[in-house]
């Protein structure tokens, strides 16, 4: 079983490296970043500056800092990850996205109730629990956002709204026609917004979500990500 474990661990790394080289090849045809993008990168470097690096250090750092001597903060804990696609905040900075006509987007719970029906499926003969476990392990190794504050609740324990939409709360309101939650009188599903660069005094526009793990596949669930 050792070779299976090695394949499972190395395969994602090989895929990531392959994708990195593909993007690098394609980037030759992509125009240079805009002055705003360059300014945002400069601000980010200042906001997350880890301090001087020891270029002769024998081991890599546990928090990911200085693993890249040219860009010491890249991949470091408690920094912002780079977006694959531009943010689409309604105010250009941090307010949730709206539809093209300026209206609120459809209720998430209604969409889930209408589009995804609960059903009993036969056992899958191709995939098994290891796929789920490995996916969770990789996910928890590279990305983990944190809420804006400790102990914050936007909904009460019995499912009532405590705080409507705010800078901290964005609860999912449950319609009375909900196929499941209406049976229990639940009107609110708790959702606290994640910490962003705005919360740590870093003036980036639009805001970026802060990740409290290293951004590398480096077994953070095993070894941790803090000094």
CA–CA distances in Å: residue 179 to residues 102, 116, 184: 29, 12, 10
Question: How is residue 177 written in tokens?
Answer: 């026609």
196 or 10: whose pLDDT is higher? 196
The span from the CA of 36 to the CA of 202, in Å, is: 15
Decide if 189 contacts 138 (C-beta within 8 A): no
At 29, is the pLDDT very low, low, confident or very high (cuts 50, 70, 90)? very low
Decide if 163 contacts 171 (C-beta within 8 A): yes
Predicted local confidence at residue 116, as pLDDT: 83
pLDDT digits (tens, 9 = 90+) for 44-67: 777 887 778 998 998 888 888 998
pLDDT at 14 over 60: no
- What is the secondary structure of 159-206 as a DSSP string? S-BSS-SSSSB--EEPPTT-TTGGGGT--EE--BPBPBGGGGT---SS
In the numeric block, the tokens 């449950």 are attached to 174
215 is catalytic: no
2 or 84: whose pLDDT is higher? 84
At 185, is the pLDDT very low, low, confident or very high (cuts 50, 70, 90)? very high
Give the phi and the psi of residue 128 in degrees, each rounded to 5. Answer: -135, -175
Give the CA radius of gyration of the chain. 21
- What one-character DSSP code corresponds to residue 80? E
- Region 197-217 average pLDDT: 87
Runs of H (alpha helix) within the chain: 2-26, 35-47, 108-115, 129-142, 220-223
At 3, is the pLDDT very low, low, confident or very high (cuts 50, 70, 90)? very low
The span from the CA of 9 to the CA of 141, in Å, is: 12
Sign of the C-alpha dihedral computed for residues 200, 206, 209 and 215 taken in this order: negative
pTM over 0.85: no
pLDDT at 21 over 90: no
pLDDT digits (tens, 9 = 90+) for 110-121: 998 888 877 777
Write down the mean pLDDT value for the chain: 79
85-89 long-range Cβ contacts below 8 angstroms, 24+ apart: 87/206, 87/207, 89/206, 89/207
Q: Which entry of 20, 21, 140, 144 is annotated as an active-site residue?
A: 140
């Amino acid at each position: 079983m050792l070779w299976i474990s090695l394949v499972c661990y190395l395969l994602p790394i090989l895929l990531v490296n392959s994708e990195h080289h593909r993007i690098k090849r394609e980037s030759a045809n992509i125009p240079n970043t805009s002055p705003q993008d360059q300014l945002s990168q400069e601000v980010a470097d200042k906001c997350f500056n880890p301090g001087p690096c020891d270029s002769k250090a024998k081991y890599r750092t546990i928090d990911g800092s200085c693993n890249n001597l040219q860009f010491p903060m890249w991949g470091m804990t408690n920094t912002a990850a780079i977006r694959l696609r531009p943010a689409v905040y309604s105010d250009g900075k941090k307010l949730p996205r709206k539809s093209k006509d300026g209206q609120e987007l459809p209720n998430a719970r209604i969409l889930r109730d209408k589009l995804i029906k609960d059903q009993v499926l036969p056992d899958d003969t191709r995939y098994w629990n290891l796929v789920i476990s490995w996916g969770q392990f990789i996910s928890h190794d590279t990305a983990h956002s944190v809420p804006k504050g400790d102990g914050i609740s936007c909904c009460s324990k019995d499912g009532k709204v405590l705080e409507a939409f705010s800078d901290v709360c964005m609860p999912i309101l449950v319609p009375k026609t909900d196929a499941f939650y209406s049976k229990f009188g639940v009107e609110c599903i708790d959702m606290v917004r994640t910490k962003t660069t705005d919360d740590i005094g870093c003036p980036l526009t639009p805001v970026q979500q802060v990740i409290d793990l290293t951004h590398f596949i480096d077994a953070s669930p095993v070894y941790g990500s803090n000094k």
